[in-house]
Amino acid sequence: MKSLIAIVVICCLLSNDLYAQEKSGGSQRASAVYGEFLGSGLIFSAHYDFRFAKKQNGLGMRAGLGFFGGSGGGILTVPIGLNHLAGKGPHYFESGLGYTYATFTDSEDFLDGSGSLLVPSVGYRFQPLSNGFTARVYLSPLIALSEGGGWLFWGGFSLGYKF
């Protein structure tokens, strides 16, 4: 839980420095932080999402960090991706293409292996026009980018805050 709070605080600070909004006139760039369940982080991950243009919809990017496991080891995930929001707020159709790097850890060896996934997605996003609660639900198959390949029908949902 402390890691999630630290990630959210860091993302908020970065968003103020790297993606400053114009306060006078024009629309603002939509940014959000959220927790994602299942989806590109596999079990749970925390994300920062923003639009490239100073508007509520259109092309954007997200990056996150996830971990799950116990004392015997676990999986660290680093999901990133591009997404596009179509429609008028607060209801949007979301499509995207992501990449997730996963490192599998073992308490004895620490690093036991790693892998990469391609993660296309389609779904629905509720994102208010002003600051507030945001939510996503989507389908996103996981496609292994390794020898032997394979894929898994997958999906996820997210809850967070848009600013």
Residue-wise pLDDT for 38-53, tens only, equals: 999 999 999 999 999 9
- Percentage of the chain beyond pLDDT 90 is 64
Give me the pLDDT at residue 108, please: 59
Q: What separation in angstroms does the CA of 53 have from each of 16, 23, 59, 81?
A: 15, 15, 7, 16
Separation CA 134–CA 148 (nearest Å) = 38
> Which residues contact residue 137 at a Cβ distance below 8 angstroms, ignoring those fewer than 6 apart?
123, 124, 155, 156, 157, 158
Measured CA to CA, the distance from residue 53 to residue 27 in angstroms comes to: 10
Tokens of 13: 């600070």
24 is a domain residue: no
Residue 129 lies in a domain: yes
Residue 90 makes CB contacts below 8 A (sequence gap 6+) with: 126, 127, 128, 129
- Residue 80, pLDDT > 90, answer yes
13 located within any domain: yes
Q: Is the pLDDT at 14 greater than 50, yes or no? A: no
Does residue 95 surpass a pLDDT of 80? Answer: yes
- The pLDDT of residue 109: 53
Flag whether 36 is in a domain: yes
Q: Domain total for the chain?
A: 1
CATH code, domain with 117: 2.40.160.20
